Amino acid sequence: MIEVKNISKTYKAGSELIKAVDGVDLKIDQGEFTSIVGHSGSGKTTLLSLIGGLTKPDSGTVVIDGTDLWSISDDDLSEFRNLKINFIYQFASLIPTLNVLENVMLPTAFSKSDEPFEDYARELIEMVKLTDKVNSFPSQLSGGQQRRVAIARAFINRPEIILADEPTGDLDEETESEILGLFHNMNENQKITFLIVTHSTDIARGCNKRYRMSQGVLKSE
Ligand SMILES: Nc1ncnc2c1ncn2[C@@H]1O[C@H](COP(=O)(O)OP(=O)(O)O)[C@@H](O)[C@H]1O
Ligand SMILES: [Mg+2]
């Protein structure tokens, strides 16, 4: 379970103070599928990075499965993150010199698990419908295909929580609905918890819980 209590984050831009996240409370149970919508600049990306332990809040707490993220050491925090959480960003950042299979498997290079990751990587590549591109390099793929590789990669370490920041932004409708189908499949079959920032009303409609963010403040819809 994710329990966010009264977190705030203010940025300094010159002499100006920007309250990007302003006293947000949020509770997400394991296996929930939650969306946040909001205008650009409303604080969505900042909130995801606070929840995912990438940015330290000025005040408030983020507790995930009983662990208060900002009360543990940096090393423990990165280990905790690696075990539990994965991010999907709007822009795929694939390694240009690695093929599709190698890109998807890259995160397992640091894994202590002895799971046969290649089989799972091939399964994920099939789920994102890129089996025929398994040996292709990123430069040989369309933008949408590259995004699907990045999405397959996000699941390889079997995270419990996926934090996705506009994962289908600027994708065509068909690809978006395929990716959405994959997310729901992962949510139902593997009980992965999803928190998705999105502009898509289709994505928001399929969520158990919906929130709107406005000027750093989160409200239930
Ligand atoms: N690193 C930063 N330094 C200064 N201001 C920032 C930084 N990151 C975000 N902001 C500001 O915080 C506000 C919220 O940004 P962001 O969380 O990216 O919103 P969203 O994802 O909803 O577009 C914006 O006004 C943005 O300009
Ligand atoms: Mg953003």
Record the pTM. Answer: 0.92
Q: Please work out whether the CB of residue 42 comes within 6 Å of at least one atom of ligand 1.
A: yes
Q: Please work out whether the CB of residue 18 comes within 6 Å of at least one atom of ligand 1.
A: yes
DSSP 71: G
Distance CA 94, CA 16 (A): 36
Number of domains the chain is built from? 1
Q: Please work out whether the CB of residue 181 comes within 6 Å of at least one atom of ligand 1.
A: no
Distance CA 72, CA 89 (A): 26
β-partners of residue 49 are none
**What pLDDT digit, counting tens, does each position of 135-191 carry?**
999 999 988 899 899 999 999 989 999 999 998 887 888 888 888 888 999 999 999
Between the CA of 194 and the centroid of ligand 2 the distance, in Å, is 17
CB 20 within 8 A of CB 9: yes
pLDDT value of residue 180: 87
**What pLDDT digit, counting tens, does each position of 14-35 carry?**
999 999 999 999 999 999 999 9
Q: Domain residues for 209?
A: 2-220
Distance CA 45, CA 34 (A): 15
- Is it the case that residue 104 has pLDDT exceeding 90? yes
CB 64 within 8 A of CB 2: yes
- The ligand that comes nearest to the alpha carbon of residue 20 is 1
3-class DSSP state of 94? coil
Residue nearest to atom 3 of ligand 1 (CA): 11
- Is it the case that residue 69 has pLDDT exceeding 90? yes
CATH of the domain at 99: 3.40.50.300
Closest CA to 217 of 19, 76, 14: 19
Between the CA of 24 and the centroid of ligand 2 the distance, in Å, is 16
**Exposed, middle or buried: residue 189 (CB in 10 Å: 0-12, 13-18, 19+)?**
exposed
Closest CA to 50 of 208, 166, 168, 163: 163
pLDDT value of residue 60: 98
Distance CA 58, CA 195 (A): 22
Cα separation values, 122 from 116, 127, 214, Å: 11, 9, 40
SS (H, E, C) 144-205: HHHHHHHHHHHHCCCCCEEEEECCCCCCCHHHHHHHHHHHHHHHHHHCCEEEEECCCHHHHH
pLDDT value of residue 24: 98
pLDDT value of residue 211: 96
- Is it the case that residue 92 has pLDDT exceeding 80? no
